[in-house]
Amino acid sequence: MNDLPRRVSLREVGPRDGLQNEEPISTQAKVELINALSATGLRRVEAVSFVHPKAIPQMADADEVWAQVRRSPDVSYSALVPNQRGLERALAAGFTELEVVVSASDTHNRQNINRTTQESLAALPELAAKAHEGGATLQLIVSTAWGCPYEGEVPVERVVWVARQGMAAGIDSLAYGDTTGMATPTRVVQLVGETRSAVPDLPLGLHFHNTRGTGLANLYAALQLGVDDFDAAVAGLGGCPYAPGASGNIATEEVVSMLEDMGVETGVDLDALLEVAEMAERFVGHTAPSQVLRAGPRSRTVQA
């Protein structure tokens, strides 16, 4: 086994990515979810996205949610912005960590934000400049990094080209999204390796979905390469409204359970997180895909 990072940084994306493919839940429920997640030891939470309500109605109350959240001084909160208007709203709300998504697949980008990939990339320099002027950082999330539901395979060269364009535009960090769970460990190793050769100075995070059951295996492959920045969603919620077949993110509690047992620190209280996962499941009104939520932590025993 290669040496693993001593500690990883987890970004909880349940309140945004986890809810965008669900039936809308109440503003109060979203606030309760974010507040509860903030008390589990998580240090990063993606709270809302400032998108047009017609595009993602589940996020129509982003301003109201953020205004009511009890913000922990120990937690960094981020927001997703699709364009300049969204960025302006996020800055006005006080966010200092922003994310913008560009699909490596042209077809998915058109479906998602009605632009070609090139058109989205052309807007990045101004977005990055405005974010920096407003005292915020901007992360580029490259979705469909390991495949597209419309186009199938997305060449590694295409994904790395998008990353290069982002660096040239002035982004602060990079994340790759496995939008429909098409990644496998060997593909993860290849893309991470090519990216580090092309843009070695850009901090890299990874966002895996468990659509085809390879989420934790992909995370472990990345961990062996020294990657220590991952997204996950409480209860394994998530999906993309513009990616047919996209199911949940890797579950935060499954990541915490596995890593802590491997001696990799997360800083997260698993028991507290499982309580929040149960809350999230109640809010969305259906059984969530998390296996650890069903089985409990390894320390749980039953009477013989």
The answer to whether residues 18 and 278 touch, using CB atoms and an 8 Å cutoff, is no
- Active-site annotation holder among 160, 240, 274, 276: 240
Place of tokens 């997260």: 268
Q: Which residues of 111-124 are buried (b: 16+ CB within 10 A; e: fewer)?
A: bbbebebeebbeeb
CA 238/CA 219 separation, integer angstroms: 17
Please count the residues of the chain: 304
User: Beta-carbon neighbour count of residue 93 at 10 Å?
Assistant: 17
3-class SS of residue 140: strand
Single out the residue of 48, 84, 96 nearest to residue 69, CA to CA.
Answer: 48
How far is residue 181 from each of residues 4, 146, 245, measured CA to CA in Å? 24, 8, 9
Q: Is 240 a catalytic residue?
A: yes
What token pair was written down for 265? 């620190």
* Catalytic positions: 240
